[in-house]
C-alpha cells in the first residue's frame, strides 16, 4: 500500500455546528416559502384585478359582434331556433367573441393556479413554524 502524498490533519467539528447548520437551513427554507407565497399572492391579486376588464371585454365584444342578440333568441323564441338549429349553431359560432373568451379564460386560469400555489406555500410556511 502506498503512502498518500498529502497528510491531512483532522480536527473535530465545533460543538453545536450541526444545530446551527440545521437552524440556518430551516430559516432559509421559511424565507423561500414566504417569498414564494408572497409572489403567488401578488400574481393572484393581479389576475383577480384583470378579471373585471377581461369579462367587460367579453361583454362588449359579444354585443358588438351580435352574439348577444343571437344567444338571446334561444331564450325568447325556442321554437324558431329548433326549426333552424343548424343555421343557428353556425351563426352563434361565427359571431362568438373567441379571442375575448380566450383571454378571459387565460386570466381566470392564471388566477386559479396562482391562488392554489399561494395557499400551498402559505400552508407550508405555517407548518414550518411548528
**Quick one: CA dihedral 6, 7, 8, 9, positive or negative?**
negative
Q: Where are the domains of the chain?
A: 26-128
For residues 55 and 111, give the distance between their C-alpha atoms in angstroms, rounded to a whole number.
14
Residue 66 has pLDDT above 80, yes or no: yes
CA 15 to chain centre: 45
Collapsed DSSP state (helix, strand, coil) of residue 25: helix
For residues 55 and 102, give the distance between their C-alpha atoms in angstroms, rounded to a whole number.
11
Q: Is 61 left (phi over 0), alpha (psi -120 to 50) or beta?
A: alpha
Q: What is the rounded average pLDDT for all residues in the chain?
A: 89
What is the model's pTM?
Answer: 0.71
More confident residue, 106 or 88: 106
Per the listing, cell 411548528 goes with: 130
- Looking at residue 105, its pLDDT comes to 96
Amino acid at each position: 500500500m502506498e503512502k498518500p502524498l498529502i497528510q491531512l490533519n483532522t480536527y473535530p467539528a465545533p460543538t453545536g455546528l450541526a444545530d446551527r447548520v440545521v437552524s440556518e437551513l430551516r430559516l432559509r427554507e421559511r424565507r423561500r416559502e414566504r417569498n414564494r407565497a408572497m409572489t403567488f399572492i401578488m400574481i393572484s391579486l393581479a389576475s383577480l384585478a384583470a378579471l373585471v376588464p377581461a369579462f367587460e371585454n367579453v361583454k362588449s365584444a359579444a354585443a358588438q359582434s351580435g352574439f348577444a342578440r343571437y344567444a338571446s333568441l334561444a331564450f325568447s323564441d325556442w321554437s324558431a331556433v329548433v326549426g333552424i338549429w343548424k343555421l343557428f349553431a353556425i351563426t352563434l359560432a361565427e359571431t362568438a367573441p373567441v379571442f375575448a373568451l380566450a383571454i378571459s379564460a387565460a386570466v381566470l386560469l392564471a388566477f386559479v393556479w396562482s391562488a392554489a400555489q399561494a395557499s400551498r406555500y402559505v400552508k407550508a410556511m405555517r407548518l414550518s413554524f411548528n
